Amino acid sequence: MQLTAVSILLVCLVLPGFRALDVAGPCRTLPVVQSFDVTQYMGMWYEIQRYPHRNQPNGDCVVVNYTLNQTTGEVAILNRMRVIADDATVEARGTAVTDPDYPGQGVLRVRFEETPPEVPASYYRILGVVYDRYAVVWSCRQNGANSVESAWVLSRAPTLEGVSVSNVKAIIDQHLDQESFTITKQGEQYCGGAAALTTSIVVFILSVFVMLQSNN
């Protein structure tokens, strides 16, 4: 199947790490998980909801696979999402490390392969986690006098259920803006089986995205 350059650019806007909310004022300091266990955090997560980018088209079926290298302590990231209308799958790879400035805390310094070297790494701050159920992740970067926030609710299953729903809601009510989240479509009816996820893979080109952003 074929994708136009424009649709490639559009789907790039919705990869994790590039969903954002403009916020007045400098980055807030939010409390992160203490005694963070990176090993338990590894594996597959389904994205349940996220903060959108204002120009964001639909990107759904977002899954993240974290793999820890026991030797280096580095985490390999594989993000995958589907643009249902285009029947296209988009992948992004990166790495994460627990940050030495925040020993034992839920802070991951994340960098994607296509990120230009001059762009600083993102800090993914884990506001809440139950390792076999859910995680609430928040990131903020300074943008002049203002800040740009990203947030994700991740789940080990394609849906969030039971007490996880109220736990996640409590975290959001305290620190984030529920109204600003958009729901990510998940499940067989939208995302198909595992095979559908490998049909057409477009490698994410961040530099083009940055160009697009700076033209906004």
Applying CB under 6 A, which residues contact ligand NAG? 44, 65, 67, 69, 71-72, 78
Nearer to ligand NAG, 95 or 105 (CB): 95
> Least distance in Å: CB of 40 to ligand NAG?
15
Nearer to ligand NAG, 89 or 147 (CB): 89
> Least distance in Å: CB of 27 to ligand NAG?
31
Nearer to ligand NAG, 67 or 199 (CB): 67
Cα–Cα distance, 90 to 216 (Å, whole number): 23
Nearer to ligand NAG, 68 or 165 (CB): 68
Nearer to ligand NAG, 39 or 178 (CB): 39
> Least distance in Å: CB of 95 to ligand NAG?
10
Cα–Cα distance, 36 to 105 (Å, whole number): 5
Q: 173: which residues sit within 8 A by CB, 6+ positions away? A: none
> Least distance in Å: CB of 108 to ligand NAG?
17
DSSP 129: E
> Least distance in Å: CB of 41 to ligand NAG?
13
Tokens of 183: 């729901």
CB burial of 144-169 (b: ≥16 within 10 Å; e: otherwise) equals eeebbbbbbbbbbbbebeeebeebbe
Terminal Cα-to-Cα distance of the chain (whole angstroms):
29
Q: 210: which residues sit within 8 A by CB, 6+ positions away? A: 116, 119
